[in-house]
Structure 1
Amino acid sequence: MCDTLVLRQQGVSWLAKNSDREAAEPQRLIRLPAVRGDTARQVRATYVEVAQTADRHAVILSQPSWIWGAEMGVNEHGLAIGNEAVFTRLTAKKGEALLGMDLLRLALERAATAREGIAVLTEQLQRYGQAGAGGYRDKQFRYDSSFLLADPNEAWVLETAGKLWAAKRVERWAISNALSLGCEFDLSSPDLPGEARRLGCWNGRGDFHFARAFDTRLLPWIGGAHQRRALNQQFLSSCPATAGWGELAAALRNHGSRHDDFERHNNRQVCMHAGRIWRPSQTTASLIARLAADGPRMAATATSAPCMSLFQPLGFAEGAGADLLSAAAQPLEQSRWWRFESVHRRALGDAEFRQALQASRDLLEPRLLEQLQLTEPDWPRLQQEAQDWHRHWQQLAEARPPVLNRWWQRQAQL
């Protein structure tokens, strides 16, 4: 489960995403340098080998620890992509193939614009297929993917069903875990309506509607996909022209009408908290990207639950958000995600601790994000302030064991 939104206004593109994964599934933020003249013929994605390219762009990726690809990311040219699991009538039930996250990384490494990203995604989709086993623990969990792609000049939504796809240029759009495209799209697979009819997904009557042809009902309903998308669409339709970092962070922290009563959450919240067998997904990382002519700027949590987390500035410059980033060979226990997990779990069951944590965060975060308006942010100071904040709350969290319900206790031991 996930939620992604894109907003274009005043010549700037914004992309924001919550990555919802299984509870207690680590996710780390990595930065990979540009590559020129690589002689490798192939590269191993999560499950399959794909043809490698000699030249690749520098990327920042939010990556589940066991996966080659990424839930979301940005490259040095200002292309940002977020993806969603969608459960279509054509989703493969077995076999090894690319994950939507693998497709996302391939596009960020090989494309400089959103339109180029669509070309990479659809080419790789046709060559290698999708819907490999996508769960951290649940290896029966398979899905197709939808994507939001944005660069400084435009944004696109791309949705897939098996190897079929459709894409539309958009200005304000949100996606969740159900298809969102209908009768209108700008690009598509060759003879998309004919292929849908041949596969028994459309009867040929009336106008062809992508979501009605390929979407399923049960998992989007259980996951509250339509309600979560509606929350983000409501934000997009009402946000002011001056909307920026603070407003987008608030959108990713949205609990709807259930507020902070986590026991009453029901998968219909953008900021998602796991809690039982029918609510196994947890927001495990969040990212906001501002894409403009002067280059990409980012803010990320690299931690679970944005409502409890600190959005910290991040960039491609040397030392920009270094404390957020994990090296490829770094032990997982040293990652920002893992170090914060004691804070997250203490806050789940201790309302007083959670409220103090949020109040402290709300004092620091605006000061950090203000630096993203400067040509040259003071990266060392930003890192030191964020480190001090995290160290303080980690020490407090570890001083007392968290009070977790039985379901969470079991997840924490896995």
Structure 2
Amino acid sequence: MCDTLVLRQSGQTWFAKNSDREAAEPQRLLRLDEVRGDRSAELQATYLRIPQTADRYGLVLSQPSWIWGGEMGVNQHGVAIGNEAVFTRLTRKRGQALLGMDLLRLGLERGATAREALQVIVEHLERHGQGGPAGYRDKGFRYDNSFLIADAGEAWVLETAGQLWAAKRVERWAISNALTLGHEFDLCSADLPGQARKLGCWDGRGDFHFARAFDTRLLPWIGGAHRRRALNQDFLAACPAQPGWRELTAALRSHGARGDDLHGHDNRQVCLHAGAFWRPSQTTASLIARLQGAATQIAVTATSAPCLSLFQPLDLTPASGAGLLSVAGQSVEQSLWWRFEAAHRRALVDAEFRQALRASRDALEPQLLSGLDQSNPDWVALAASGSAWHAQWRAEAAECDVVLPRWWRRSARL
């Protein structure tokens, strides 16, 4: 489960995503350098070997620890992509192909604009297909994908079913874990209605509707996809003329009507907390980007649960990212994500600790994000402040033993 939104307003493009994965599934934040003249013939994605390209763009990627691709990212040209699991009538039940996260990384590595990245994704989708076990522990979990793809000049929603797809240029859009495109789209697979009819997904009556032809009902309903998307649509509709980091962070931290009852959540929250057989997913990383080409600015948590995390500033220059980014060859246990897990888990069950952590976070976060409004941010000082905050709350979390609910202990294999 995930939620992604894009907002183009007042000459700016804002992009934001919560990555929802299994409880206790590590996710690293990586900076991958630009590559020129690579002579490798192939690359190894999560499951498939596919042709490599000699030149690739540099990017920041939020990556589940066991996957080649990523949940969300931004490249050196200011292209941002986030993907969502969708459960369609054409989702492959067997075999292996490219995961949606692999397609996302390929789009970022090879697309200098949102439209180019979209084309990269659909070309690989049509050539190699999508599918394969997509869960960290649950290897029976499989899905197709939808994507939001944006740059400083435009944004696209791309939705898929098997190897079929449709795309629409948008200004304000939110996606969750259900298809959103209907009768109107700007680009699509060759003879999309005819292919849908041959596959038994459309009866040929009336205007062709992408979501009605391919979407399923049960899993989007269980996952609260339409309710979560509605929360972000409400945010987009009410967004001020000049939105900023404060508004975007609040949107990703939304618990809807449930408020701070973290154990009473029901999959209808943008900031998701796992805790039951029907609620196995949680937000494991969050990213916001103000897309401005090479001057793109980013705020990330690199830790679980945005409502319990600190958003820190980042850009695409080598000077930024200390304390946030995982280093090549570094073990998962050395990542910021893993090192903050003790604080995250204690906050789930200790209300007093949770309130103190948030109060401390709310005092520091505006100071850190204000660095993104400076022409020459002091990245060393910003990184030091963020690292000190994390160190403080890791130490606080270690002061007493945490007894997590039974589901967590059993299902997350703690």
Same fold (TM over 0.5): yes
CA contact (8 A) 1:298 1:314 kept: yes
- 1:295 is paired with a residue of what secondary structure? coil
Hey, what's the Cα distance between the residues in 2 that align with 1:149 and 1:37? 26
| Match in the other structure for 2:159 | 159
Q: CA deviation at 1:175?
A: 0.1
Measured after TM superposition, the shift of residue 319 of structure 1 is 2.6
Give the secondary-structure state (helix, strand or coil) at the position aligned to 2:367: helix
1:84 paired with 2:84, answer yes
Matches within 5 A, 1:212-361: 212-293=212-293, 295-361=295-361
Q: CA deviation at 1:410?
A: 2.0
Residue 370 of structure 1 deviates from its aligned partner by 0.6
Structure 1 residue 374: deviation in Å?
Answer: 1.2
Aligned to 2:52: 52
Q: Secondary structure of 1:124's partner? A: helix
Provide, for residues 106-148 of structure 1, a one-character-per-residue CA deviation record: whole Å limited to 9, x for no partner: 0100001010011100000011100111000011110000000
Asked whether the equivalents of residues 371 and 378 of structure 1 are also in contact (C-alpha less than 8 Å), the reply is yes
Aligned length in residues = 414
Do 2:77 and 2:293's aligned partners in 1 also have CA atoms closer than 8 Å? Answer: no
Q: Write the distance in 1 (CA, Å) between the matches of 2:249 and 2:131.
A: 30
Q: What amino acid does structure 1 have at the position aligned with 2:245?
A: W
1:106-117 matches, within 5 Å, as 106-117=106-117
Query: CA 1:97 to 1:293, structure 2 compared with 1: closer, same or farther past 3 Å?
Result: closer
1:11–1:292 Cα contact (<8 Å) kept: no
Mean Cα displacement is larger for which, 316-325 or 79-88? 316-325
The separation in 1 between residues aligned to 2:206 and 2:321, in whole angstroms, is 52
Question: Following TM superposition, by how much is the alpha carbon of 1:11 offset from its aligned partner in structure 2, in angstroms?
Answer: 1.3
1:267-310 CA-partner distances (Å, limit 9, x unpaired):
00000000011110010000001102562110000000000000
C-alpha distance in structure 1 between counterparts of 2:72 and 2:48, whole Å: 20
Q: Deviations over 1:306-351 (max 9, x none)?
A: 0000000011212302210001200111100000000000000000
CA distance, structure 1, for counterparts of residue 29 and residue 242 of structure 2: 28
Per-residue deviation at 1:408?
1.0
Are the equivalent residues in 1 in contact too, given 2:294–2:316 (CA < 8 A)? no
Q: Counterparts of 1:318 and 1:151 in 2: how far apart (Å)?
A: 21
1:208 is paired with a residue of what secondary structure? Answer: coil
In the alignment, the residues of structure 2 paired with residue 170 and residue 178 of structure 1 have an alpha-carbon distance, to the nearest angstrom, of 17
Q: Is the 8 A contact 2:151 2:293 kept in 1?
A: no
User: Pairwise mapping of residues 27-106 of structure 1 onto structure 2 (< 5 A)?
Assistant: 27-106=27-106
Q: Report the 3-state secondary structure (helix = DSSP H, G, I; strand = E; otherwise coil) of the residue aligned with 2:308.
A: coil
Give the Cα separation in 2 of the matches to 1:72 and 1:317. Answer: 18
The TM-score normalised by the length of structure 2 is 0.99
The one-character-per-residue Cα deviations of 1:208-266 (angstroms, maximum 9, x if unpaired) are 10000000001000000000000000000111011111100000000000011012100
Tell me if structure 2 keeps the 8 A contact 1:24–1:411: no
Aligned to 1:370: 370
Distance 2:221 2:401 in 1: 35
Gapped runs of 5+ residues in structure 1? none
CA distance in 1, matches of 2:144, 2:71: 13
Residue type matched to 2:242 in 1?
A: T
SS at match of 2:307: coil
Determine the C-alpha separation between the residues in 1 that align with 2:218 and 2:402: 34
AA matched with 1:380:
V
Looking at structure 1, the residues matched to 412 and 5 of structure 2 have their Cα atoms a distance apart, in angstroms, of 30
Which residue of 2 is the match for residue 385 of structure 1?
385
Rounded to whole Å, the distance in 1 between the matches of 2:239 and 2:285 is 23
Equivalent residue of 1:73, what SS? strand
1:133 aligns with 2:133: yes
Tell me the SS of whatever aligns to 1:413: coil
How many angstroms apart in 2 are the aligned matches of 1:137 and 1:344?
Answer: 20
Contact 1:15 1:150 in 2 (8 A): yes
- Secondary structure at 1:3 match in 2: strand
1:20-48 deviations in whole A, cap 9, x for unaligned?
00000000100010000000000000000
How far is 1:411 from its partner?
Answer: 3.7
Report if aligned partners of 1:231, 1:270 keep a CA contact under 8 Å in 2: yes
Instruction: State the distance in 2 between where 1:154 and 1:63 align.
Output: 25
TM-score by length of 1: 0.99
The DSSP-based 3-state class of the residue aligned with 2:73 is: strand
% identical aligned pairs: 70
Alpha-carbon distance in 1 for matches of 2:392, 2:218: 43
Instruction: Tell me the CA shift for residue 191 of structure 1.
Output: 0.7
Equivalent residues of 1:350, 1:403 under 8 A apart: no
Q: SS of 1:251's equivalent?
A: helix
- Report if aligned partners of 2:76, 2:294 keep a CA contact under 8 Å in 1: no
Matched-pair contact (CA < 8 Å) for 1:34–1:59: yes
2:7 maps to what in 1? 7
- The 1-side partners of 2:402 and 2:155 are apart by 42
The one-letter amino acid of 1:263's match is H
Deviation, structure 1 residue 402: 1.6
- 5+ residue gaps in structure 2? none
Larger displacement relative to structure 2 (290-299 or 111-120): 290-299
| Aligned counterparts of 2:318 and 2:327: Cα–Cα separation in 1 | 14
Partner of 2:182: 182
